[in-house]
Chain A
Amino acid sequence: MSWRPVCRVEDIPVLGARRVAREGSEVPIAVFRNAEDKVFALLDRCPHQGGPLSQGIVFGESVACPLHNWTIGLSDGCAKAPDEGCVQRFACKAEGGQVFLEADALTPVEA
Chain B
Amino acid sequence: MKRDLPATRQKLVVVGNGMAGIRALEELLKIAPDLYVVTVFGAEPHPNYNRILLSPVLAGEQTVDEIILNPLSWYEGHSITLHKGKKVVRVDRVKRLVIADDGTEAAYDRLLLATGSNPFILPVPGKDLQGVISYRDIADTEAMIDAAAKYRKAVVIGGGLLGLEAANGLKLRGMDVTVVHIMPWLMERQLDDTAGQLLQRSLEARGIAFEIGGQTEALIGDQDGRVMCVKFKDGRELPADLVVMAAGIRPNTTLAESMGLHCHKGIVVDDTMQTKTDPRIYAVGECAAHRGVAYGLVAPLFEQGKVCATHLAQFGIGRYSGSTTSTKLKVTGIDLFSAGDFMGGKDHEEIILNDPFGGIYKKLVIKDDKLVGACLYGDTVDGSWYFKLMREGRKIGDIRDKLMFGESNIGDTGHEGNTRAAAMADADEVCGCNGVAKGTICKAIKDKGLFTLDEVRKHTKASASCGSCTGLVEQLLMFTAGGDYSKAPTKKAMCGCTDASHAEVRQAIRDQHWLTIADVQRGLGWRTPNGCASCRPALNYYLLSTWPKEAVDDPQSRFINERSHANIQKDGSYSVIPRMWGGETSADELRRIADAVDKYKIPTVKVTGGQRIDLLGVKKEDLPAVWRDVGMPSGHAYAKALRTVKTCVGSEWCRFGTQDSTQMGKDLERALWRMYAPHKVKLAVSGCPRNCAESGIKDVGVIGVDSGWEMYVAGNGGIKTEVAQFLVKLKTAAEVLEYSGAFLQLYREEGWYLERTVHYVGRVGLDYVKKKVLEDAAGRKALWERLRFSLDGEPDPWFEPDKAKVDLRQFEVVA
Chain A interface (Cβ < 8 Å from any Cβ of B): 6-7, 11, 13-16, 18-21, 28, 31, 35, 49-52, 55-60, 62, 64, 66-67, 69, 71, 82
Contact = CB atoms under 8 A, between A and B. Distances in A.
A15 B557 CA distance: 8
B530 A66 contact: no
A21 B532 contact: no
A103 to B, nearest CB: 15
A18 B309 CA distance: 39
A71 B528 CA distance: 15
Contact of A82 (B458, B536, B556): B458
Most B-side CB within 10 Å, residue of A7, A11, A66: A66
B807 A13 contact: yes
B570 A55 contact: no
A49 B461 CA distance: 15
B533 A71 contact: yes
Given A57-B556, A60-B529, A82-B458, A19 B564 contact: no
B665 to A, nearest CB: 32
A49 to B, nearest CB: 7
Contacts of B810: 13, 16, 18
B815 interface: yes
Nearest to A101: B814
A6 B813 CA distance: 11
Given A6-B814, A71-B533, A58 B559 contact: no
B631 to A, nearest CB: 26
A13 B571 CA distance: 24
A28 B588 CA distance: 38
Contact of B813 (A11, A20, A66, A67): A20
B568 interface: yes
17 contacts: A11-B809, A13-B555, A13-B807, A14-B556, A15-B557, A16-B556, A19-B813, A21-B813, A21-B814, A21-B815, A28-B813, A55-B568, A55-B572, A57-B532, A57-B556, A59-B532, A64-B532
A57 B533 contact: yes
A83 B759 CA distance: 30
Nearest to A61: B529
Interface residues of B, number: 28
Contacts of B570: 49, 67
Given A13-B807, A57-B556, A58-B556, A67 B532 contact: no
Given A51-B572, A59-B531, A71-B533, A11 B556 contact: no
B29 to A, nearest CB: 13
A99 to B, nearest CB: 9
B459 interface: yes
B352 interface: no
Most B-side CB within 10 Å, residue of A13, A19, A57, A82: A57
Contacts of A62: 532
Contact of B459 (A16, A69, A82): A82
Contact of A56 (B529, B533, B807): B533
A18 B814 contact: yes
Interface of B: 458-459, 528-533, 536-537, 555-560, 563-564, 568, 570-572, 807, 809-810, 813-815
B209 to A, nearest CB: 47
Contacts of A18: 809-810, 814
Given A28-B813, A50-B572, A51-B572, A69 B533 contact: yes
Contacts, number: 76
Nearest to B811: A19
B564 A55 contact: yes
B560 A59 contact: no
A15 B813 contact: no
Contact of A59 (B528, B559, B815): B528
A19 B556 contact: no
A16 B563 CA distance: 11
Contacts of A64: 532-533
Contact of B572 (A14, A52, A59, A71): A52
Given A7-B814, A11-B809, A21-B814, A57 B568 contact: no
Contacts of B459: 82
Nearest to A19: B813
Nearest to A46: B572
Name the 3 nearest CB pairs between A and B, nearest first. Answer: A64-B533, A57-B533, A55-B560
B533 A13 contact: no
Contacts of B533: 56-57, 59, 64, 69, 71
Given A18-B809, A21-B814, A49-B570, A57 B529 contact: no
B564 A35 contact: no
Given A52-B572, A59-B531, A69-B533, A15 B809 contact: no
Contacts of A31: 814
Contacts of A67: 568, 570
A85 B353 CA distance: 51
A69 B378 CA distance: 40
Given A35-B529, A57-B537, A13 B813 contact: no
Contacts of B558: 57
B560 A66 contact: yes
B536 A59 contact: yes
A60 B809 contact: no
Given A13-B556, A15-B556, 14 more contacts: A13-B807, A14-B556, A35-B529, A35-B530, A55-B563, A57-B560, A59-B528, A59-B529, A59-B533, A60-B530, A64-B532, A64-B533, A66-B559, A66-B560
B508 to A, nearest CB: 21
Contacts of A60: 528-530, 532
